[in-house]
Structure 1
Amino acid sequence: MSMKQETDGHAADNLALTSVLVGSLPRTLMTQEAPTRYTVEAVFSRRPGGDEVRGVLGPETREVLVSSGYPNVALVVSDRRLEIHNTNLEELREGLARVLAMRLAEISELTRSAKEASASSARSLAARELERVAAVTELAEMVSFAVPPTPDDGADQRARTYRSQIEAWSGTTSAPQ
């Protein structure tokens, strides 16, 4: 049994946002010329994978933003940064950052579950293949080129049984002989 170490409320391997890239903020913030809405760049905890990028940019994330009261916010993934367009630091502080954090945790979990399901399927397929190879090997070892001592010692029946198993594994069937 393995345990994932958690940091700041998320599993250590989850995709998360760690900080705002301050150098990317408008230079006029907190002045009379400051824009009300602008792009805020946030740094990912690690480089997002392809499935994670699709999750961030997908319709489910758009739906989460709209239903959470942020219909005008747009997201762009740029390497290890998330560009959060049409927002501001106050909006992020007051709740948008939490919405994004929760969505990233959900995307991480969905991605992890899909990978685990795929790995489980591959393991199952490999196990079936090992069984098939073992059965084929056993059947091949039963082949005898010697003259049989009796007219029927059950080898024909065993061969038919193994042939049926092999056909079942390969998805083919043949008419009984």
Structure 2
Amino acid sequence: MNSSANTPNSERETLKLGTVLLDGLPGSLLTDQAPEKYLVAVVFNRRAEPEEADFLTGTAVKERLRSAGYPDVELNVVNRRLEISNTSLEELRDGLSVAIARELAGVEQKFERERVARNAQFRKEVDAESKRSEAVQLLAQSITFDPARIEAPH
């Protein structure tokens, strides 16, 4: 089965953008009636995890895109698509696509760091529980019900 919903985060395929959905583009492109800015939908290689979608649509990404010269661009994740509002194919070709790709790389790095930290914390908790369990077992094994081993009361 190749479903990302059933795949642990450690084995999750890197989120990438593929092709522009042509049927969502204005029919008047490359004519005198073409809008200057419009929505461009791009297909992801897989469904974005909720945390990834939140990251991509969050204020930090918006601020970085604004700083990179794209103040009006809005990102929205819908199913397996990234909807890029207030842009154009030319703007995407001339640099916005690279800026968005950098953000995608950033989201992957962020979630990889979080995954490594979660795994380290999990291992730490498992080790602590193993030591505690071993100590309980040793304590329980030290108890004897041998009447010959009666000690004087304290």
* TM-score, length-scaled by structure 1: 0.75
Partner of 1:85: 85
What letter is aligned with 1:95? G
Structure 1 gap ranges (5+): 1-11, 153-177
Partner of 2:38: 38
Residue 45 (structure 1) shift? 1.6
State the superposition RMSD in angstroms: 1.8
Residue 15 (structure 1) shift? 1.3
**Structure 2 CA distance for aligned equivalents of residues 42 and 149 of structure 1:** 78
**Structure 2 CA distance for aligned equivalents of residues 149 and 88 of structure 1:** 87
Residue 13 (structure 1) shift? 2.9
Partner of 2:131: 131
What letter is aligned with 2:46? R
What letter is aligned with 1:48? A
Partner of 1:170: none
**Structure 2 CA distance for aligned equivalents of residues 23 and 30 of structure 1:** 15
**Structure 2 CA distance for aligned equivalents of residues 75 and 82 of structure 1:** 7
Matched residue of 1:110: which SS? helix
Matched residue of 2:77: which SS? strand
Residue 148 (structure 1) shift? 5.0
Deviations along 1:42-62, one digit per CA (max 9) or x if unpaired, are 111211111111110111101
Deviations along 1:26-74, one digit per CA (max 9) or x if unpaired, are 0111112111110000111211111111110111101111110000011
How is 1:146-165 mapped onto 2 (pairs within 5 angstroms)? 146-149=146-149, 151=151
How is 1:1-177 mapped onto 2 (pairs within 5 angstroms)? 13-149=13-149, 151=151
Q: Which has the larger radius of gyration?
A: 1
**Structure 1 CA distance for aligned equivalents of residues 132 and 94 of structure 2:** 59
Higher relative contact order (CA 8 A, sep 6+): 2
**Structure 1 CA distance for aligned equivalents of residues 22 and 149 of structure 2:** 89
Q: Calculate percent identity across the aligned residue pairs.
A: 38
**Structure 1 CA distance for aligned equivalents of residues 56 and 131 of structure 2:** 41
**Structure 1 CA distance for aligned equivalents of residues 150 and 32 of structure 2:** 105
**Structure 1 CA distance for aligned equivalents of residues 148 and 123 of structure 2:** 41
Matched residue of 2:76: which SS? strand
